[in-house]
Structure 1
Amino acid sequence: MIFVTVGSMMAFDRLILCMDKWALKHSDSDVLAQIGGGAYQPSHMRCTRMLSPSKFEEAVRNATVVVAHAGMGSYFVAAEMHKPIVMLPRLAANREHTTDHQLHTIKWLRDRPGVFAAMSDDELDAAIDKAMAGEHVAGANFTDFAPEPFLTRVRHFLVN
């Protein structure tokens, strides 16, 4: 199953529309989307507006691949459950967010194991194909802790 999430804060109709088109082309695939308050209502995949935290966790646990906006919360949940994640950033120019911080987030995350970046709608299908093909090692380099250089900088900041 592919689990699609727009997060809990804002609609992301562009992602849902792209995934609905993907689901139409891949009608043999099971796709569940958490669509939030968006205006677009998908017709080729199962959807729900919101999921309780326990149902959200269950959906991620049951997913083969997670497809999401480029939000840190989505990344952390996928990483914690060792699930590959395809991320499409929201764009301020499309009024999907107030800033382009998700572009910076995806540029920072895209080389991590299990992260498949789609920098545009046109790259989404290929990113899903890579994630589904297993071009990652389950659990590889996933950790419950931040990288040591980052922790060292935080410790230095807090102590000084």
Structure 2
Amino acid sequence: MDPFDRLIKAMDEWVGKQATPLEVLAQIGTGSYRPTNLQFVDFLKPEEYRDAFERAEFIVSHAGTGSIITALENDKPMVIMPKRASLGEQRNEHQLATATRFKPSTLIQVAYDVDELYAILNEAAFNTEKKVFQPQAWPPDASLISFIRGFIQAGS
């Protein structure tokens, strides 16, 4: 919903530096940055989102609880980069708290800045000896997921 140009630009630049073409789809929302190295759409319809999500090897996202829960429920590896109020991307630092809460998951890697994002992406995409994402060993808190899902559904 809210733009996250810092993440979109970082992903676009990372994809542009790869020697081997990568299939990357970005949902950019209302952001002003327009990628040149990856496929993008402003918004995906729910069925398009589900299809893209299922086909993805792993997901790169802001630290939004809806995306995180969807990834955990589907055992889908994810890299999250929290939006920062200190950078004008959010009204408060709640995404930092969300990242901290979900960091124990072996399916989630947290990148707090672009350098960490690039390190995780390089490791995940090209290092065959070390698995960046492990099978889910940390069970997500079912009561937290239920509460958040109810909150989201009540708001829509």
Same fold (TM over 0.5): yes
* Higher RCO, Cα 8 Å, sep 6+: 1
Q: Distance in 1 between matches of 2:84 and 2:116?
A: 15
Q: Distance in 1 between matches of 2:142 and 2:74?
A: 18
Q: Distance in 2 between matches of 1:41 and 1:147?
A: 38
Give the drift of 1:147.
5.2
CA contact (8 A) 1:114 1:131 kept: no
Matched, 1:137 2:117: no
Match among 103, 109, 117 for residue 116 of structure 1? 109
Matched, 1:77 2:70: yes
How many percent of aligned residue pairs carry the same amino acid? 34
Structure with greater Cα Rg: 1
Q: Show CA shifts across 1:61-107 (max 9, x none).
A: 00001000011111011112211100000000111110001011111
Q: Distance in 1 between matches of 2:16 and 2:69?
A: 29
Amino acid at match of 1:16: I
CA contact (8 A) 2:9 2:35 kept: yes
Aligned residues: 140
Of Structure 1 and Structure 2, which has the larger fraction of its residues in strand?
Answer: 1
User: Which residue pairs with 1:61 in the alignment?
Assistant: 54
Q: Which runs of 5+ in 2 are unaligned?
A: 146-156
Matched, 1:35 2:28: yes
Question: Please, what is the CA RMSD of the aligned residues?
Answer: 2.0
